[in-house]
Chain A
Amino acid sequence: MNRSPLAILAFLLAAVSLVLPTGADGSGILLVSAPAILFAAAAVALFVAPSMAALIALLVLVHIGAFCLIGALSSFAPTGPSSGYWCLVVAAWLLAWLAVQRLASLRFRSPDIQRLANLALPVLFGAWLLILWEITVRGFSVPTILLPPPSMIAARIASSVPTLWADFQQTFLKAAIAGYAIGCGSGFLAAIVVDRVPFLRKGLLPIGNLVAALPVVGIAPIMVMWFGSYWESKAAVVVIMTFFPMLVNTVAGLAASGAMERDLMRTYGASYFQTLLKLRLPAAMPFIFNALKINSTLALIGAIVAEFFGSPIVGMGFRISMEVGRMNVDMVWAEIFVAALAGSLSYGLITLIERAVTFWHPSYRT
């Protein structure tokens, strides 16, 4: 049987931790059970033939072990845990890594289960990132200003939902979405005009490409000066930031339909608008969606950064810059979490729409 060096190392570490001091005040139930559970997990990894059941047992044991380790954190003296505890942490981490490795190498016959496994891998990775973050920050008592533990951030999110919602409304629902819609819409219309006039295409495209690489966020202070500090100025920044990626991508997309297909449309006697609607716009959709995806990130960044230059007393950018000044880092992380969630969800939403619209594209055909 193939014995992974990771499992052997984890087994040895769990054994060593029994003789080393853990640095605990008393001996809580959690601290006693952690090595036992990890021993069991290592034994499963070492001696049970690799199978689905063994893998699930390993995963369950490792996570119970991690839960015990986190729970035990509060039982330590002010000096913090010592070597025995850290041996256990490393052992748990190695076993989790081993489990992820085994899960990654498995091939399932049913595509649904395979999809589930593919989803589980990044989720496990993320979960262990959080677990190790929590344990390291609290175990080494890193100052919370530098890096608050995830539990503290979660508590802060739970306790200040109304504030977060108001900020989200101001920055995302008002500024970012309005700017995104106007910027993408006008970029799209401009692209159709530019595409109609070859001279403009030759002249505007190199400049558009250049502007797409420029630090457009810098325009924020000017927009705040022109449109005031309410959400309109943030939307204006977003409009300018999203306009050029949309323009460049749409023009490229309109050129994407093949000459053969265009000739076919001509033999049908199709008018310009018929060709545009029935052939060239559908062919341009993958490019347009690419721009929509890029812009969804840019819109949020633009709206938040523009608030650094002046805003009413609500908004994600305002909250971030204010709470940083007051050293309430957990609140900043809470805002970042909201921003990350909003960014990922809108990206995911656009991807879903893209799938529905460009179902014919090779990358979605199975």
Chain B
Amino acid sequence: MNFIRNSVVPVATVLLAIVMLWYAFAIILNAPFERDQAARAGTTISTGQLIANTMKQERPVLPAPHQVAEEIRKTVFDVSPTSKRSLVYHGWVTLSSTLLGFALGTLLGIVLAIAIVHSRTLDKSLMPWIITSQTVPILAIAPMIIVVLNAVNITGLLPKAMISTYLSFFPVAVGMVKGLRSPEIMHLDLMRTYNASKAQIFWKLRWPASMPYLFTSMKIAVAISLVGAIVGELPTGAVAGIGARLLAGSYYGQTVQIWAALIAAALMASVLVSLIGLMANLVNRRMGVRA
């Protein structure tokens, strides 16, 4: 009961308000076009007719929510998933490079973190650069990486995945350095009194202690991997993927298509993030952490 009162009702109210605002803005933003049409035809248009018309324009300034939902339904269920007009096909293209890049980035981040934790030289010389790399707008390089790798005949999944890798390694590396250092000095001393080797300390103390940090940073990393994959699809000339849908939509003024792609990307991001959250819960329970 408390859960419903404290989170479902407020969230639902805010969502409802957002949808209503969306409709209101759709009417306001699309109305000038309808008035213009009516004035050209030399007729006046009633308010009711005006509102009805703003809901079903071909290329609205702001499509109404049901138009976007209809577009998603049409491109997901009505066309076969292998067709180039299917949102499932484009979503899969983006998802596959997101996941590949995310996996590589997480691996790279973990390896870097392990190296940094065990080498004082690396900690002092490499760590500041990893921090600096965050302040650099990496996404700006995305188109170049794609085009350059295409020029040397590396095409397909890998270039896009590399951008996702570059973006996702950072949160994992920083989080894992923190996590691998999180065991208390008492615990480390205890391991030393047991005469544990470095590998044993790592596997039995540092690695388990870093799990919460790993999952927190993986959530950030998977979200940013998706952004990387989408931006990576922009310069390839709109071939396939959510990013290509966005670009093609903006070329041809297909606003409904852009919004559908955006909503699809948002859904994908939230599913991916909650999957990681689920994994974190499973691991926590296995390790005996009470929720």
Contacts and interface: CB of A to CB of B under 8 A. Distances in A.
B113 to A, nearest CB: 17
A224 B250 CA distance: 9
A207 B135 contact: no
A361 interface: no
A165 B90 CA distance: 38
B61 A339 contact: no
Contacts of B255: 222, 225
B14 A200 contact: yes
Interface of A: 97, 100-101, 104-105, 118, 121-122, 124-126, 143, 145-146, 199-200, 202-204, 206-207, 210, 213-215, 217-222, 224-226, 296-297, 300-301, 304-305, 308-310, 316-317, 320-321, 324-325, 327, 329, 332, 335-336, 339-340, 343-344, 346-347
A335 B140 contact: yes
A206 B15 CA distance: 11
Summarize B's interface: helix, strand, loop or mixed.
helix
B125 A100 contact: yes
A209 to B, nearest CB: 10
A324 to B, nearest CB: 5
Interface in B108-135: 120-121, 123-129, 132, 134-135
A210 B269 CA distance: 9
Contact of B11 (A202, A304, A317): A202
Interface size class of B (residues with CB under 8 A): 35 or more
Given A218-B261, A305-B231, A324-B144, A296 B135 contact: yes
Contacts of A202: 6-7, 10-11
A210 B270 contact: yes
B266 interface: yes
Contact of A213 (B152, B231, B262, B270): B270
A118 B230 CA distance: 38
A215 B270 CA distance: 10
Contacts of A300: 137, 140
B176 to A, nearest CB: 19
B227 A217 contact: yes
Given A122-B129, A305-B139, A344-B135, A207 B15 contact: yes
B266 to A, nearest CB: 5
B140 A324 contact: no
B55 interface: no
Given A100-B121, A200-B14, A343-B135, A301 B151 contact: no
A214 B269 contact: yes
B133 to A, nearest CB: 9
**In the A-B complex, the 6 residue pairs with the closest CB atoms:** A203-B10, A221-B250, A203-B14, A125-B125, A122-B128, A202-B10
Contacts of B223: 213-215
Contacts of A325: 147
Given A199-B10, A206-B7, A222 B258 contact: yes
A305 B246 CA distance: 13
B148 A329 contact: yes
Q: Which of B125, B136, B223, B266 has the most CB of A within 10 A?
A: B125
Given A214-B265, A308-B235, A320-B143, A225 B253 contact: yes
Nearest to B249: A221
A104 B119 CA distance: 10
A104 B151 contact: no
B259 interface: yes
Nearest to B17: A203
A316 B134 CA distance: 19
A97 B120 CA distance: 12
Contact of A336 (B141, B226, B269): B141
Contacts of A225: 61, 250, 253, 255
B60 to A, nearest CB: 11
Interface in B241-291: 242-243, 246-247, 249-250, 253, 255, 258-259, 261-262, 265-266, 269-270, 273
B219 interface: yes
A224 B234 CA distance: 15
Contacts of B259: 222
A115 to B, nearest CB: 12
Interface string B186-214: 00000000000000000000000000000
Contacts of B141: 332, 336
A308 B141 CA distance: 12
Nearest to B266: A214
Contacts of B44: none
Contacts of B10: 199-200, 202-204
Nearest to A119: B128
A222 to B, nearest CB: 6
Contacts of A206: 7, 11
Contacts of B137: 297, 300-301, 304, 339-340, 343
Contact of B269 (A105, A143, A213, A220): A213
A11 B66 CA distance: 73
A339 B230 contact: no
B140 A316 contact: yes
19 contacts: A97-B121, A100-B125, A104-B124, A203-B10, A217-B230, A218-B242, A221-B250, A221-B258, A222-B259, A301-B139, A308-B143, A308-B234, A309-B247, A310-B250, A316-B140, A320-B144, A321-B143, A339-B137, A340-B137
A317 B230 contact: no
Nearest to A335: B140
A229 B12 CA distance: 36
Contacts of B220: 213
A118 B14 contact: no
Contacts of B231: 217, 305
Given A126-B129, A320-B140, 10 more contacts: A100-B121, A104-B120, A118-B124, A122-B128, A199-B13, A214-B266, A214-B269, A215-B227, A215-B230, A297-B135
